[in-house]
Amino acid sequence: MRIIAGQKKGHKLLSLPGNKTRPTTDYVKEAIFSIIFDCTDLRVLDLFSGSGGLGFEALSRGARSLEMVDRSEKAVQIAKKNIAKLQYEEVTTVHKQRVDVFLRNTEGEFDLILLDPPYNQNYVNSTLAEIFAEAILAKEGLIIVEHSTQEKIKEDLIPRIIKQKKYGDTYITLLKDC
């Protein structure tokens, strides 16, 4: 896993060992960031962040700040090592807690929310509903969800979808507030 563009282009990231996690491939990462294009000065929230590949990509491309949320102690430790390796200590905060708890308690507002939950565990729709209920997406903000093609976006959220693209067994879905 590596940073594919921006200030830290080419830097290799540590990732979680084993096959329980599913790091975003460079191909899908490139697709996501070709859609966003400009991350300059964005406040980014990376939910189910794992080792941080998507969030660090946003920082490398000019984001102002990054908040990462993951409940796994191993993921948080790897993320902290990546933060130090990339020298992002001043602009990154890691929260070791469940995503739903974080969303109910955060006071932040974010320009870009990256959502990459474990596949087929029914986190996508509940997390999106919580994001909109807590009103943490900034005006003109964007949510990008990487999810299994088996896990469809619920009908009540469909009006918020601005784009959806399939990459193998993965959907990249972009949503905004109505």
Q: Work out the percent of the chain whose per-residue pLDDT is above 70.
A: 96
In this predicted model, what pLDDT tens digit does every residue of 25-75 receive, in sequence order?
777 778 788 877 789 999 999 999 999 999 999 999 999 999 999 999 999
* Residue 99: pLDDT band with limits 50, 70, 90: very high
Dist. CA 142–CA 41, nearest whole Å: 14
Dist. CA 160–CA 178, nearest whole Å: 6
Paired tokens of 121 = 């565990």
Residue 118 CB contacts under 8 Å (≥ 6 apart), including other chains: 22, 48
Give all strands (DSSP E) within 4-158, no chain letters.
43-47, 65-70, 92-96, 110-115, 137-148
* Residue 22: pLDDT band with limits 50, 70, 90: low
Mind spelling out the 3-state secondary structure of 134-165?
HCCEEEEEEEEEEEECCCCCCHHHHHHEEEEE
Section 1-24 average pLDDT = 79
* Residue 150: pLDDT band with limits 50, 70, 90: very high
Dist. CA 124–CA 128, nearest whole Å: 6
DSSP-derived 3-state class of residue 114: strand
Whole-model pTM: value is 0.93
Residue 171 CB contacts under 8 Å (≥ 6 apart), including other chains: 145, 146, 147, 148, 149, 164, 165
Contact 81, 111 (CB under 8 A): no
Contact 116, 146 (CB under 8 A): yes
Centre a 10 Å sphere on the Cβ of residue 14 and count the other Cβ atoms it contains.
15
Quick one: 26-175 is in which CATH superfamily? Vaccinia Virus protein VP39 (3.40.50.150)
Model pLDDT, residue 23:
65
